[in-house]
Structure 1
């Protein structure tokens, strides 16, 4: 069994970071800050996530740096905890979506025939309905718990992963070395995991970043509409809704969670653009 050397991994990561363009470095730094903020939320915030510490809509001050929300909870604390909840739920949802979509896409390309037709037509039906409307319908039926939301969004988003995985895998499945593996008597699982998957992995990694952005934007939109993350759990989408009335008084507080969403989306896309460029094999001019 191969021994993993943490020092070698760190050195390789440092070299990769050093060779990245400035835009990708900025994106990675921003993403790292968000992740650290999410992991250390209970240790860096002055109050509890749902703790009422003052009256509603207190202005910015030395005690409450970003003021308070409609219930008197500290906005800075809620913003940091929102990073943990929004990013954590979005990451889990994206992982499940990829597990479902990539597995189904690999199976469809490997077996072809009627399994491919059944899976493809099912995905076509699911994709024919606007995702947000479909998610609202399903959540109104199955409830608004976090587990229900994660499963609903993961299933709906897996259709996009399926289409990409299948399109990439179909081109690989007809190559000579895959046919040689079949002639050797290798099983379907071997072909999918050892022959096809390694050759499409770089594109899937980049797609993971894009799908993560779409997922946490969808979660934020559902929370804003009241069918996403439920109170008192902090979430950027619900924070925009809770403080939206302040816009009428020229207060920029509602823009803070909205800005947090936008900055993370841009940062992830900067990293994804670099990953796609690296996977393509093209060189910088």
Structure 2
């Protein structure tokens, strides 16, 4: 592992540990008002100061990482379950099923993803369930295209055609031939989609259509404390920096994984 990837892995491990053990180490609850002074500086009322209501920024930051990571993970799992399942099915079954699903995905992708999410959430409400399902559905279109392309490419290879000629069924082709060879690209895609989920959910929270107060979310913390910038408060900059660190580290780790997989592929070709 390269030094950059090692640092990124350590940072991601740190954030995931904070998400798991956050409530045990947070000085206060996420909604507790600890000071009468709003936008208090660092050290005055808390290590990272207070927000617009006098709540501890550090405590809300710790609780916010759990919300941000959990929702991003849920939306990514939903998008991959739906996108990979339909993409592989379209590549294997082909015919009318492939055409119908592909046209439906193209219709969804004709709308900007953020605009589509805003319309759906605005119509059905800002509950966590609606938020997760909407973002998962929006992201599944991109996953579908990647999964279908991978399955089509692998399905055209000689070893898959040989298995098909032997009379192997679609399920066997999927589990034994296509999925093992598509695992590495899909893992890298999962990391990228996870990063996109964090940014997407934080953006919706910033617009007021994501997580609602008094719950803590990094995107919501930026939105609710942005007025403190004019008072010299860092309450909005700190969660923004945390979002940046999380997404950059995830991208660095995915880049290292992709380079490693490409190196192994080249090495295997040289050996052959």
Structure 1 length-normalised TM:
0.90
CA distance in 1: counterparts of 2:200 and 2:87, whole angstroms:
23
Report what 1:126 is aligned to. 108
- Is residue 42 from structure 1 mapped to residue 23 from structure 2 by the alignment? yes
C-alpha distance in structure 1 between counterparts of 2:213 and 2:164, whole Å = 53
**Deviation for aligned residue 1:32:** 0.3
Aligned residue in 1 for 2:3:
22
Instruction: State the shift of 1:253 in Å.
Output: 2.3
Which runs of no fewer than 5 residues in structure 2 stay unpaired?
Answer: 268-272
- Structure 2 partner of 1:9: none
Matched, 1:199 2:181: yes
Supply the distance in 1 between the matched residues of 2:211 and 2:229 (Cα, whole angstroms). 23
Q: Deviations over 1:176-206 (max 9, x none)?
A: 2212222333221221122101101101101
Runs (4+) of structure 1 exceeding 6 A deviation are: none
Structure 2 distance, partners of 1:103, 1:124, is 17
Aligned to 1:31: 12
The residue aligned with 1:269 is: 251
Is contact 2:45–2:56 with CA below 8 Å preserved after alignment? Answer: no
Shift of 1:143: 0.9
| Counterpart position of 1:95 | 77
RMSD: 1.4
Counterpart Cα distance in 1 of 2:184 and 2:35? 49
Deviation at 1:169, TM superposition (A): 0.8
Task: Report the counterpart of residue 201 of structure 2 in structure 1.
Answer: 219
- For residues 232 and 159 of structure 1, what CA distance do their matches in structure 2 show? 32
Aligned counterpart, 1:4: none
Alignment of 1:131-146 (within 5 A): 131-146=113-128
- Superposed displacement of residue 78, structure 1: 0.3
SS of corresponding position for 1:152: helix
TM-score, normalised with respect to structure 2: 0.94
1:256 to 235, 238, 258: 238
The equivalent of 2:96 in structure 1 is 114
For 1:264, what is the secondary structure of its paired residue? helix
What is the CA–CA distance in structure 2 between the aligned matches of 1:213 and 1:172, rounded to whole Å? 27
CA distance in structure 1 between the aligned counterparts of 2:153 and 2:232, rounded to whole angstroms: 55
Per the TM alignment, residue 63 of structure 1 is displaced from its structure 2 partner at its CA by 4.2
Q: Per-residue CA shift, 1:90-126, capped at 9, x if unaligned?
A: 0111011001000111011111111111111111111
1:80 corresponds, among 54, 59, 62, to: 62
In 1: Cα distance, 2:123 partner to 2:169 partner = 41
Q: Which residue of structure 2 aligns with residue 65 of structure 1? A: 47
- Tell me the equivalent position of 1:159: 141
The 5 A counterparts of 1:230-241 are 230-241=212-223
Question: Unaligned 5+ residue runs, structure 1?
Answer: 1-19
Q: Would the alpha carbon gap of residues 64 and 71 (structure 1) be closer, same or farther in structure 2, given more than 3 Å must change?
A: same
